[in-house]
Structure 1
């Protein structure tokens, strides 16, 4: 992997159609991003692989897709209404708001207590100013959930919230899945979906956004088995990293101290990645205990107990949560796949074929020869039927096509030339090595 700046990644994503700024023609909307044609295909490849590994290839994990808008009682039970907060400070002159912990971290100030009182004390002791050099207000709690209303009129509207995590959709459907599928413990429920957080200061491209996608599992087991399950998912995270091609050397584990853990967590391990802007959380693995099921059972008045099929004993299982961020994974993949080939004056993405937006690019050697274009179109249809992710490219000369496909990570380019018309073989070019060989279409 070659070092790459965040600016280079942002430029590539915009230029080649991976990611665009949300609402860009109106000046954009902070913390929102749109996936372009290549980005959405990369994303689909990624989520399909995750689903295949963690759901389709396992007999003990069931899929779910829950609603994005949820009853406010869900968030009261989960603790998000009271506890899902960040500390915000305000520039007293410009009124610009900032996350207090981010300002401290940027100055290398270690935070030993995340209470408003301690954060305020650290700001005062270190004479911390806003980025504009102005005094800061005292830290205030800021709830990050997006609030909306449901109803036909303002007077009859009911408060609701966009979910800040996908997990609660799983917990409130726990009994439904148990009743429908009759699973034996241990078992898991998996979901891929959007979450929303009103971040005080979105930054670092798609790393911290207000709308993002999660791939999560809530895995339920008996209390005495949680450590074994936790370790199993810790190791499976490295299997996932290998599958998608993220180098293990860039990943480290952080045992999150109690003072920094989420309110529901009894143990959390963060998988940290060396991003261009520093070592930050890529994935998380949390032991949630029976906190969520207990809270929903208490507030809803509905029993969420699991009934042992053999003994008929009733109890609330505990839960292990592996959580994978889609956008953060994509950012890490683009960064780690970036290559600068100075000898050949090119930049390319060394993405795995399973992840790359396109598996093959098909081109006629020249675009003004009908017989070559016709044959190339025929081969394009054959490969598209076989692999799906195949792109047609006949713009500019063949050298520029190769460089364009290199930059978006296409593993192989297939060129149809005059020899193809004679013997049915094509030129197959390797992205990483630049090696070219003659192959029959059937052998591709």
Structure 2
């Protein structure tokens, strides 16, 4: 049996090597153009070598996971599809869009290394901070480009798998497959969790934070709650606004799941109000008119391109009036948007997820399971989705393309609810067997 297993691994390795060589022969010109554009510090050959070793490492990790064969095959397929995107599709797209943010991030990290610029740590300079984080990765794994994209993709891949392990007891077999397919193989997920950008680490930090919050609720061990707070550290330096989003979500999660005793409310609520007041002072919110200015500024700054929702916000009153529509747009749209095949595919996927999300909510409301862990899990997921969607309702509806990228941060939670709408739940399966 072990002998046959080794043969299978050898055949798989040979297939990956041949497929990689085949893809590189088609995409090499675009890769070389990209390397010239970003002024790659090492040779293109070294970047390919670094990328090959990085791929082998993650494939080895996946092959050695203690999982059922079908689950492991889905994981392997999901990761290899990411490699195909990174090696074959990304070079063309990155050249077309002039490197996206990667050109700036890679250039800054190279300048820091060569001493052309001095890095100054500041919570308000996310671009500089993420560039320095990338410099740290480059010092560890070599000053390539594609190998860092593979590393970022692998980190997000494993973080989503970790969340899956935390919650998969609520899924039956088909639901497990559905969740993995829509979080690891769905094209937009692959793209925005594999680019040389802020998004992969933002997603990984969010996923790990939520996972440890759920573990705390399930096992009632305080260390899991403390570990969940560690993942705020990334947002201290990149996307600072995610800290109040996740912090408020965590606070409400603890309140609704009765993890904070009522006698402490008279201390916690004044402290929370004080933190909110200080935060508002820091960002310059001292009056209703200042709130209106911030809403108008945030909304108008992202109102570009041809994919706006068509709602123009002039202040807090408009935001309150249009909030249900804006929130729905943030979480589920685009649903009907014409464009290239990727946009049409996004429309189709969003329709599937929207329908199953509604069905999932219905199944949750009808579920007879009264266990604390199940109810705590559902409350937690819905709270995080609602709070994130409420804040991002200011910006995502003004540019549905960018909104799709933002939504990747909580896509795994949206898919969790949609998964509960895909067929009967494990709980309902048990109930049906009892009836029979």
Which structure is higher in strand share? 1
> Which has the higher Rg, Structure 1 or Structure 2?
1
Which structure is higher in helix share? 2
Q: TM-score range by the shorter chain?
A: under 0.3
